[in-house]
Structure 1
Amino acid sequence: MKTLRLIGMAVIAVIMSVNFAACSDEDDNNSNDKKLVKVEFTDGSYKYIETYKYDKEGRVTEYQGIDKNVNTGNTEVYTYTYIYTDAKISITRSDNDDDIIYTLNNGIVVSADRGNDDEYFFKYDDNKQLIGITSSSKEFDMTFTWSNDNIVKSVKTIRNSGMRAETYTYDMTYANISYRFLGSELPFYDSKLDNFLFSYGYFGKCCKNLPKYMRDFGEVDYQIDNEGYVTGMVDEDGETYRFFYE
């Protein structure tokens, strides 16, 4: 159910992410480019909003998720704060979950401590493309396959305490639209990847294009304004996401 998925994604991402002034160009992250400041999604009586703040270098400094039941008026707000140094990126969370600490090597994430007595390690190829994530507990690993500067497949393996494995394979196709940061859900619905940090280059090289087909959304269509910014996305169920920039 997308409502539950979106709530879970807020914990992720904090994400994300993903992204996006097109990551392949150095100019895409400069402060003169418009930045994504809000994402809106409505599903019946449920409304979900993400808001973002940035520093002078165009990096997310605060991400806020707002879950609202428009019938009852009940609202939940959670805030995530990003702190950057040359050696680490720390994300503090207002929802009492453990903080996330990413360790950097030459500006690229090499490990992540998520405060759950497990550490995650990130592997890159010679082109600085992310090709794998493993956990110190051996209960999680994920691989990525690239083609034409885009991730076209990911394979995730989860093992229980008895080391019985379940494997999930996800394929992605791409639109002829430059990759941009579209919030915590796009394109990677997985708590190990922060979509914004991916888009900014902290997970190595990011994708060249926005996905056309992806996990949980199916085939999507984008609306683009006359400046080239993505202002909307409709998934295969007809549900619409709206994107706002400043």
Structure 2
Amino acid sequence: MSHTAHPTQALDELDPHHESHHHGHVILRVSTLVGVLVALLFLTFITVAAAQVEAWVAGAFNIHIPSLFNAFVALSIAVVKAVLVFMFFMQLKYDSPLNSIVMGFTFFAVGLFFFFTMIDLGNRDAIYPFKSGEIQRGGMGISVEGRVDTQKKPITVWARDNYMEQIRAQAAAGTLNPPLAPGETVEKRFEKEREKAHAKARGGHGHHAPTSSSANASRAPKAVGPALYAEQTPAKAQDHGGH
């Protein structure tokens, strides 16, 4: 059985292993790059035009267009623009498919992170309403939606001053219920109301920390072995047992 001999290529001193013939970068034509750029600019124009048309339709026909629809249109156009950038400017169309897989998985991971984060932030008040506020220490100052101007104070300080001002105004107008007791100041009334609010938020237990583990905190047992399950005698019963 005969084999046809492959012709021997001439030795290239600059590329002896002929690597440039298989691993070289793709050089796109200027016309292709200009076409992609024009497409990106056109899609940007479409995004702005769609927003203006939506505003005109809502005003002319007196209809309410959900904000999710506007976001869906804008994000859909943004996805098309991103795909064009990935394919031509980043040359994923001409590169190894593995790079496209890595890029897609990366964006999927980022989207998954935002998905679970938004679920957590949007449902914190489902069980405990007091957990739905800001998690930054001292608050965020001015809220993102601009509904509350805290005058650059921490939101906790602003809320305290605002509540005390309401108590002071109601006391001056005689509408405070119950009225201030003799010797009771606005600060003392605020502390009393704060204690009531905390006790209500904790299920009526006030500041007494639970001795067993809960869904919010894990606490180590004070004893091990059989003593862990032994019935504990209340301290007050021991103090008054001999009387």
- How does the TM-score come out when normalised to structure 1? 0.18
Higher-Rg member (1/2): 2
More helix by share: 2
More strand by share: 1
- How does the TM-score come out when normalised to structure 2? 0.18
